[in-house]
Structure 1
Amino acid sequence: MDDMMFEVGTALILVAIASVIAGKLKFSIIPFLIVLGMLVGPHAPTIGILDFKFIDSQGVIDFLGQIGILFLLFYLGLEFSVQKLVKSGRNIVTGGTIYVTLNFVLGLAYGFLVQMPLYETLIIAGMLSVSSTAIVAKVLVDLRRTGNAETELILGMILFDDIFLAVFLSVMSGLLLGGTASIGATILSVGISIGYMLLFFVIARKGPPILNKLLRITSNEIFIIVVFSTMIFIAGFSEKLHVAEAIGALLFGLALSETEHSERIEQLVVPFRDFFGAIFFFSFGLSIDPLSLGNAFWLAIGAVILTIIGNLIAGMIAGRKAGLSHKSSLNIGLTIMARGEFTIIVANLGVAGGLSALIKPFSALYVLVLAILGPLLTKESKRIYRGVNRIFKWSEPVEKGKKKHSSVSEVSEVSEDSKIKLDQ
């Protein structure tokens, strides 16, 4: 027990050091922590009393990381209005369908192109189709974009993506692990997932008066115990219904976002979100063995290129169909580009089903590159937009004294670019 506590403490000190370095360099903390996790772990050396393998403490670190995902998604849910999400329902379904379909088709085409067998191709298509809710949430919070016009659509597309994941895992589990996929069981599982999500939307719309009374707790100590305990219980219960635990936390946050206590909860949850969230990205890096990545290098790089193209196209189409500016639409594609925990879940299903040994290193390298590249591209979205805009001429360049623009879309985009210059 003492050794385990010392290992966990060592891991936390490493996380703290990496966080300080990232802060000094004004860099996203996510890639720093993922790479740090890769540099240590089971393949790392033991130096004196410092054991960087973290074998005994791996389970504890993973659990703390899971708690981090819950706090990240719970906070994201608190930041949004269910009423606005409901109004955007049609745009969310359209955008989510475009996003999943395009990426899944690209994944199928890529699998057949590299001559993978059918089941391996389906697994690759599934991995290319699911974004990382944890990384997306962290990026939105870190870059202070929770209030952006496109963020509601991003959140909705994440929910839609989770429904797709539930369907995909149900079908593939039947094919790989059970020898068959029951149509009835799949429909029932998906129906339960959708009904469960809709229940929280109803609670968010109709339940605030009751929730307000239940949460009128003077003591912050008791208040935080009640809220966080309920969040973790709902996340665990969600997983029992084949809804991702992170999505359960997100739904609970949405339900509380309409209450009079939402601001109080946000203030209390922020330190936990940042602390446990950092552990998640470190634990994610621990799960990647850099020595196993070489065999799948070119296969993973090809998938990364396809994902970047697919996400940018899907984001532009979804955003423009929702009436958003070209800049906001580009932000959608960049923000949802990151791959992470859900992609690993799909890959693990393929491994459990006895598929090609190449699936594991391929998924690790694919996720690693996009987990690092996604946040970086999102952070630089302003510069990327200006570069792309020079090619497609979506809006006129900002000029001094220029007051007239040829369309409402251009006025919006030039206004945003003007704000960028003022910020800089």
Structure 2
Amino acid sequence: MPEQVLLEIGLALAIVAFAGILAARFRISIVPLLILAGMVVGPHAPVIGILDFRFIKSAPLIDFMGRVGILFLLFSLGLEFSVGRLLKAGRSILVGGSIYMAINFTLGMVLPIIWGWPLRETLVVAGLISISSSAIVAKVLVDLKRTARPETEMILGLMLFQDVFVAVYLSIISGLVLTGSASPPSVLKSTSLALGFMLGLILAGRKLAPLINRLFNVPSDEVFMLMVFAFLTLVAGFSETIHVAEAIGALLVGLILAETDHLDRIEHIVVPFRDFFGALFFFSFGLSIDPLTLGGAVGPVLAAVAATLIGNFLAGIIAGRMAGYSYRGCTNIGLTITPRGEFSIILANLAKTGGLLPVLQPFAALYVLLLAILGPLLTKESKWIYSQLARIFGWPALQEKGKVRQGMQI
């Protein structure tokens, strides 16, 4: 009944709010607490009186609000940049993305081969290990107030690079897992479509910036908000129909609107929605993980997590240094891109549909959970981690607080 759904939504918001209170109390990122809160409740949880902690009736609505949260998180991140800045960094992003994928995909292939897993399972694990969570990365950057740091440009570029890889890889792996084959024409078509859409939208946004400025020049805040949200959801929805991640569509809209004269007004409107719906995304993500199924994959997961931490850090150092960032900036890159999330769950569900080894579901769930927790924590402590590494490798010491800090120093 509708009133039961409303009560469940209220209960979910109370849990999310309590997680926020704990995060503020202990000065940690709210992301891992929201995921853990979602795991504690869900289909396996009890019903206490009128309080149904299973969230069965409200699950579709919570999931939808979580999807909206992804859009606002990536849209907000895009607003911190501009198309011009991204195009200027195009070469370093291409080189950095290639380095990142080469290191992490290789590690992702080697581990399941060592474990003796079949080819299709190996390819699924390689995809799991290769792709960061755009939503978690965006949330961490916002929470830690790092969107203005120079190296965040590289992190943003890596997210875009990874989405192109996702478009190609999903085409290949879907064919192999579901039908046993992947035709070159379909892969080429998916790649061209994803690249063409992203580049076309970016270039169109630059050319049409004066027109967009005039269109959004309306006095009513209510109408202005509706126009922004309509633009965001239409582009994100269209992205999804052509198999480009909806979150990347939202990111591109943010990049385009960052070029306009309405940036401050948009940010003022978006921030409350971003924080509210973003929190619900991580809670709904936790709801999708059944903690009772995680025990069978502990060994492989710990090995995969260790490999991911090492691979991401190496990729961040190599790609960052080639782009001219300081060792501090490179450390931030390597730690920030550590979390795994939505794409890993998509691959696990694909493997289940294709009848692959049952261990892949608990493997993906535990792997994502650990890195969704470790990623934000490591990023928050990046200053301390850099200080320890600087002593070991002889890197420059951190500048004292108050001195000029540079993100692009050699």
Q: TM-score, normalised by structure 1?
A: 0.93
Paired amino acid for 1:249: A
Which SS does the other structure have where 1:42 is aligned?
A: coil
Structure 2 stretches lacking a partner, 5+ long = 406-410
Q: Per-residue deviation at 1:414?
A: 3.7
Q: What does residue 401 of structure 1 align with?
A: none
Q: What does residue 258 of structure 1 align with?
A: 259
Contact 1:212 1:260 in 2 (8 A): yes
Q: What does residue 54 of structure 1 align with?
A: 55
Paired amino acid for 1:349: L
Which SS does the other structure have where 1:363 is aligned?
A: helix
Aligned length: 404
Provide the alpha-carbon RMSD of the alignment.
1.3
Paired amino acid for 1:43: H
Pairs within 5 Å for 1:350-369 = 350-369=351-370
Q: What does residue 9 of structure 1 align with?
A: 10
Q: What does residue 250 of structure 2 align with?
A: 249
What whole-Å deviation, never above 9, does each CA across 1:114-162 have from its counterpart, x for those lacking one?
Answer: 1111100100000000000000000111111111110101100100001
Write the distance in 2 (CA, Å) between the matches of 1:416 and 1:213: 43
Q: What does residue 184 of structure 1 align with?
A: 185
Q: What does residue 151 of structure 2 align with?
A: 150
What whole-Å deviation, never above 9, does each CA across 1:162-193 have from its counterpart, x for those lacking one?
Answer: 10011110001111113321101110111011
Write the distance in 2 (CA, Å) between the matches of 1:349 and 1:98: 27
Which SS does the other structure have where 1:376 is aligned?
A: helix
Which SS does the other structure have where 1:145 is aligned?
A: coil
Which SS does the other structure have where 1:217 is aligned?
A: coil
Contact 2:209 2:260 in 1 (8 A): yes
Q: What does residue 239 of structure 2 align with?
A: 238
Paired amino acid for 1:167: V
Contact 2:163 2:244 in 1 (8 A): yes
Q: Per-residue deviation at 1:351?
A: 1.3
Write the distance in 1 (CA, Å) between the matches of 2:102 and 2:348: 19
Pairs within 5 Å for 1:78-93 = 78-93=79-94
Please list every run of at least 4 consecutive aligned residues from structure 1 whose deviation after the TM superposition is greater than 4 angstroms. Answer: 415-420
Contact 1:204 1:257 in 2 (8 A): no
Contact 1:22 1:32 in 2 (8 A): yes
Contact 2:198 2:252 in 1 (8 A): yes
Q: What does residue 327 of structure 1 align with?
A: 328
Q: What does residue 312 of structure 2 align with?
A: 311
Q: Per-residue deviation at 1:230?
A: 1.9
Give the share of equivalent positions with the same residue, in percent: 56
Write the distance in 2 (CA, Å) between the matches of 1:238 and 1:95: 25
Which SS does the other structure have where 2:303 is aligned?
A: helix
What whole-Å deviation, never above 9, does each CA across 1:304-329 have from its counterpart, x for those lacking one?
Answer: 00000000000000000001001100
What whole-Å deviation, never above 9, does each CA across 1:319-360 have from its counterpart, x for those lacking one?
Answer: 000010011001100000000111111221111111000000
Q: TM-score, normalised by structure 2?
A: 0.97
Q: Per-residue deviation at 1:198?
A: 0.4
Contact 2:95 2:319 in 1 (8 A): yes
Q: What does residue 108 of structure 1 align with?
A: 109
Write the distance in 2 (CA, Å) between the matches of 1:45 and 1:214: 51
Write the distance in 1 (CA, Å) between the matches of 2:364 and 2:403: 40
Q: What does residue 175 of structure 1 align with?
A: 176
Pairs within 5 Å for 1:130-169 = 130-169=131-170
Q: What does residue 408 of structure 2 align with?
A: none
Q: Report whether the alignment pairs 1:28 with 2:29.
A: yes
Q: Per-residue deviation at 1:23?
A: 1.1
Structure 1 stretches lacking a partner, 5+ long = 398-412
Write the distance in 2 (CA, Å) between the matches of 1:264 and 1:203: 22
Q: Per-residue deviation at 1:418?
A: 5.3
